[in-house]
Chain A
Amino acid sequence: MNRGKLIRLVAVIAALALITAACGGTKKSSSSGTSNKTLAAAPGFDPTTNTIKVGVITPLTGPVAVIGQPLTNGTATWFKYINAEKLIGGKYKVELVQEDSQYKPDLGVQAYNKIKNDVTVIGQLLGTGVTKAVLPLLKADNAMAAPASLDADWVRDPNLIPVGGPYQIQMINAASYLVNDLSQKSNVFCSLIQDDAYGQAGQQGIDFAAKELGFAVKSTAKFTAGGADFTAQVQQLKGAGCQDVFLVATPTDTGKIMGTSAQLQFAPQWVGQSPTWIGAFIKSPLLPYLQQHFLLAAEGTEWGDTSVQGMTDMLDRVQKYSPTQQPDIYFVFGYYQAQAVTALLEKAVQLGDLSRAGLVNAMNKLGTVSFNGLTGDYQYGKASDRNPPRNSTIYKVDPAKPGGLAKVKYQFESDAAKKFSF
């Protein structure tokens, strides 16, 4: 190729390069949009169709889908109700954009990148690992997400929309119930926890309660989630003479632990955190053992309890919009998490700004949100001012109830829980 041709080729390539390079970059001096009184278009909000889009990043395949599916269905059912009967601010519909994270942080990051410009908020983000991987991106984009777990870390984060009393609170209230209501202060207390952050959260609550209420945790046994055999852990607790055992596990492991304990004739008073339970237990051979020895520390009320307004409304909407849904505590969680997201969107509409900055502002101005008894009232606002609900409900196992649980003590707040600081 001769010199002239070469020079021309290089010139063409350089021109192409400059043009394409200009397409991808943003000019440094570009200014941010101005706010005006009418509701302007924003990522995820389309004023021409009056639709607000909300993102959902949950494991919808893989083993954790057993939580992700009903969780998402709860959120979806609430928004079906909103779209049919109420509308956000009386005007706007909500559309869900769902992505499958398979409970993997890297897929969660990719899913976030995929939908972040199509949605106003991420209305559901399941998985501590996924949440922590997406968090730096939320901060960079000044966006908000609602994490679907009861971690205490989420309370003080300005980019997150937490709901419900964290795991620590559940364990503190449970301990308070055992010591004060059942007068078991002189019993031998122990704990059996999963060997990860989830287990550590529960243990933190147990340790706080032990200090406040004046008992000692004699033995703590740990296990790896998904383990095949729990004989060693049960023996350790049995050998220590445990009479009350706090349990932090997931339903699969709970079933195996209870089975092993029944077989080894170890029968303490078990108190489990909310994720330990699944409705299928009432049809399993574990039922008699569970009825006698298992209590659950969670929130809200049992499925089917019409004495609580929030539950009555929810049952009504399940009947209308998702009639095949079986009683499931994760469904309830997704349902009231959607209520929190709705409160945020309503506030943003009221303040006239559905952009990302507008939503952060709305969160700072959001007061206390009530869930009509499904979970405790959450005091939102600036991250440093927030106060999560500090009440829990204690349930016992009752096969006559639709969800298998009957409330023993409803939404109470112990003195120890009041003192826990986030």
Chain B
Amino acid sequence: MTTRLRNLNMTLHYADDLKLFKSRQSRVGIAVIILAGVLLPLSVKDDFWLSVLNYAGIAAIGAIGLNLLTGYTGQVSLGHAFFIGVGAYSAVYFGGHHGLPLPVWLIAAAVVGGLIGAVIGPFALRLRGNYLAVVSLGLVFIGLHVFHNWRSITGGPGGTSVAVPLKLGPIDFTKLSIGSYEYTRNQSFFFLVWFVVAVAALLAKNITRTRPGRAMQAVRDRDMAAEVIGVSLARYKVGAFVISSALAAVAGALFASYQQFVQPDSWNLFVSIQYIAIIIVGGVGTIFGSVLGAIFIGAVPQLVDKFSAHIPLVTKSAGGGGGFHLTVFQLNQMIFGALIVIFLVLEPRGLAAVWLRIKAYFKAWPFSY
């Protein structure tokens, strides 16, 4: 039983503190988000924004995993791209070569990712901080080498097309039909991706608000002290790797099934850096931030592209060579880089912190000073 004074959210029991949605506002908020998430693909037909959001959703799953590892447990990993690749090729193998149904290949990808994460995890016990980061970078390059050469699954440097079953019982995620209406691949896929995002976010949030989450944060803050009070470093560091690589593998599997074509060079260092960018811009150590960051990094370059067409002195087309010549495409990149810099200078704790600030402002309103 909870006793609540209006707008003050005082709680009497410990269990209430752990609740996911503490106030009526947050419950209404999540209901609105779910409703919007369900209605959006049904009402929007624009394949472009749907594909942007689909890729962003896939990135969000990977980012949630990385945030668990780096944000909550403090193990900086630049090797995320490798696990995404592992997931993609698991999908190719289980879904493509063996034709297993959707839930099977998706979970198999998670299992394979987790197992490999369990192998890599013990390295984290030996290395710390920046050294761990760069060793994980090595994982990406060794992974690239393995993917290049394991031609039977990856198709070698030329890549392989991916054709996996995407049906869950009567629901076909390549062309959904509700009543007498049919929906496109992008619209149907949106449901699959963002449903998995919701599941991953719930899973991660449950981990972080209970005992394992507290243990992980203890490891991040002061691992020696944590060990002294009885938190098993081996268990939580390796465990964090397992979960994060499982989630990354799920993201990779969905990526491969969505794009229908993958090549080994796709899983390079830039992808790892992009994920680090997502969790930093979104807010290190928050789940909501991972999703926000993924949407930001995925959608903002496209938004910049839309509006920069109106900037004078910048040409839309490629040039003939000679002299200072800035195309709108180069400008887009520059604006994107500048946005990241400016945003982080102003709010280093990322989008989630901005969101919390807004919430706090309105909670104390009209006494917001």
A–B direct contact (CB < 8 Å): yes
Contacts A17-B35, A197-B157 known; list 7 others, CB within 8 Å.
Answer: A23-B42, A25-B178, A26-B182, A70-B318, A195-B157, A200-B156, A200-B158
Question: With a CB–CB cut-off of 8 A, which chain A residues contact B157?
Answer: 195-197, 199-200
Question: With a CB–CB cut-off of 8 A, which chain B residues contact A322?
Answer: 320
Question: With a CB–CB cut-off of 8 A, which chain B residues contact A106?
Answer: 55, 255, 259, 266
Question: With a CB–CB cut-off of 8 A, which chain A residues contact B45?
Answer: 23-24
Minimum distance in angstroms from B244 CB to a CB of chain A: 21
Q: How far is the CA of A200 from the CA of B148 in the complex (A)?
A: 13
Residues 42-74 of B at the A interface (beta carbon under 8 Å): 42-45, 47-48, 50-52, 55
B interface residue count range (under 10 / 10 to 19 / 20 to 34 / 35 or more): 35 or more
Per-residue CB contact flags for chain A residues 66-106 toward chain B (1 = under 8 Å, else 0) read 00111011001000000000000000000010101000111
Question: With a CB–CB cut-off of 8 A, which chain B residues contact A401?
Answer: none
A7 within 8 A of partner (CB): no
**A21-B178 CB under 8 A given contacts A197-B157, A200-B157, A325-B321:** yes
Residue from B48, B156, B260, B319 in contact with A113 in the complex, judged by beta carbons closer than 8 Å: B48
| CB pair B318 A76 closer than 8 Å | yes
- The contact sample of 11 A-B pairs, CB cut-off 8 A, is A21-B178, A26-B183, A61-B333, A73-B318, A106-B55, A106-B259, A110-B55, A110-B302, A113-B47, A197-B159, A323-B320
* A contacts with B: majority SS: helix
| CB pair B263 A110 closer than 8 Å | no
| CB pair A21 B322 closer than 8 Å | no
A interface residue count range (under 10 / 10 to 19 / 20 to 34 / 35 or more): 35 or more
Task: Show the binding face of B for A, using Cβ within 8 Å.
Answer: 35, 38-39, 41-45, 47-48, 50-52, 55, 148, 156-159, 161, 177-178, 180-183, 185-187, 255, 259-263, 265-266, 302, 316-323, 327, 329-330, 332-333
Q: How far is the CA of A100 from the CA of B181 in the complex (A)?
A: 34
| CB pair A113 B51 closer than 8 Å | yes
Question: With a CB–CB cut-off of 8 A, which chain A residues contact B263?
Answer: 105, 129, 132
Residue from A25, A27, A76, A133 in contact with B42 in the complex, judged by beta carbons closer than 8 Å: A25
| CB pair B318 A72 closer than 8 Å | yes
**Complex A-B, nearest 10 residue pairs according to Cβ-Cβ distance, in ascending order:** A25-B181, A197-B158, A196-B157, A20-B43, A100-B329, A72-B318, A114-B48, A324-B320, A21-B42, A113-B47
Minimum distance in angstroms from A401 CB to a CB of chain B: 18
| CB pair B320 A325 closer than 8 Å | yes
Q: How far is the CA of A22 from the CA of B182 in the complex (A)?
A: 10
**A324-B322 CB under 8 A given contacts A61-B333, A135-B261:** yes
Interface centre among A27, A100, A328 (most CB of B within 10 A): A100
Minimum distance in angstroms from A224 CB to a CB of chain B: 8
Q: How far is the CA of A114 from the CA of B178 in the complex (A)?
A: 26
Q: How far is the CA of A28 from the CA of B176 in the complex (A)?
A: 11
| CB pair B332 A100 closer than 8 Å | yes
| CB pair B42 A129 closer than 8 Å | no
A400 within 8 A of partner (CB): no
